[in-house]
């Protein structure tokens, strides 16, 4: 008489694939598709925002700067995955998630580097035909 050792999280469906494995595969595919969508949006629109963020007087340098950021992301994504995966195994996933989200928040904080922020705002608002300090939320 054989006994079953399957737990509720590893039940199999008629196709023979474990339910948790199938759910993990679907969720991984969705996450991967969203990430590639993000990369493709950046690559597609980098020719438009490169002049706003990087050197506007040299279009070649500005697009090269945008593509350099693209390359840095491609290089550091697997390195970050290895590092933060290792850290998650040591200190726990919740602590690493809070650390990474906190790091993203620090990178998105625009209270620092006001000279760069002001330069970008002035250029964008002049391009829109408005004076630089006439929009809502601006100084």
pLDDT at 83: 95
Q: What is the reported pTM?
A: 0.52
What does the alpha-carbon distance between residue 84 and residue 48 come to, in Å, rounded to a whole number? 33
Residue 19 pLDDT greater than 50, yes or no? yes
Contact 19, 7 (CB under 8 A): no
Q: What is the pLDDT of residue 104?
A: 84
| Residue 116 within any structural domain of the chain | yes
Whether residue 107 sits in one domain with residue 64: no
Specify whether the backbone of 127 is left (phi greater than 0), alpha (psi in -120 to 50) or beta.
alpha
Burial of 66 (0-12, 13-18, 19+ CB in 10 A): buried
Point out which residues pair with 12 in neighbouring strands.
Answer: 18
Give the separation between CA 46 and CA 65, rounded to whole angstroms: 10
Q: Are residues 96 and 58 in the same domain?
A: no
Q: Is residue 5 part of a domain?
A: no
Same domain as 27, residue 54: yes
63 with 55: CB under 8 angstroms?
no
Whole domain around residue 70: which residue ranges? 18-76
Stronger pLDDT, 84 or 138, i.e. the higher one? 84
* Average pLDDT of the segment spanning 111-133: 50
Domain count, the chain: 2
* pLDDT per residue as tens digits for the range 28-87: 999 899 988 988 998 899 888 888 888 888 888 888 988 998 899 889 989 999 999 999
**Residue 1: inside a domain, yes or no?**
no
- Separation of alpha carbons 10 and 8, rounded Å: 6
Q: Is the pLDDT of residue 10 over 70?
A: no
Helix 114-127, helix 19-53: angle, nearest 10: 80
Instruction: Give yes or no for a contact between 35 and 42, defined as CB atoms under 8 angstroms apart.
Output: no
Condensed to tens digits (0 to 9), the pLDDT of residues 89-118 reads: 999 999 999 999 998 888 776 665 555 555
Both 27 and 70 in one domain: the answer is yes
Specify if 2 maps to a domain.
no
**From CA 41, how far away is CA 75, in angstroms rounded?**
18
| pLDDT given for residue 16 in this prediction | 63
Same domain, 68 and 99: no
């Amino acid at each position: 008489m054989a006994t079953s050792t399957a737990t509720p999280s590893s039940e199999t469906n008629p196709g023979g694939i474990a339910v948790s494995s199938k759910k993990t595969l679907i969720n991984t595919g969705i996450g991967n598709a969203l990430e590639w969508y993000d990369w493709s949006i950046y690559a597609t629109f980098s020719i438009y925002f490169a002049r706003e963020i990087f050197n506007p007087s040299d279009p070649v340098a500005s697009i090269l700067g945008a593509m350099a950021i693209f390359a840095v992301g491609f290089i550091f994504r697997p390195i970050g995955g290895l590092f933060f995966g290792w850290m998650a195994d040591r200190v726990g996933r919740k602590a690493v998630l809070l650390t990474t989200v906190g790091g993203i928040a620090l990178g998105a904080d625009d209270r620092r580097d006001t000279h760069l922020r002001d330069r970008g705002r002035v250029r964008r608002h002049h391009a829109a035909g408005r004076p630089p300090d006439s929009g809502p939320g601006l100084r």
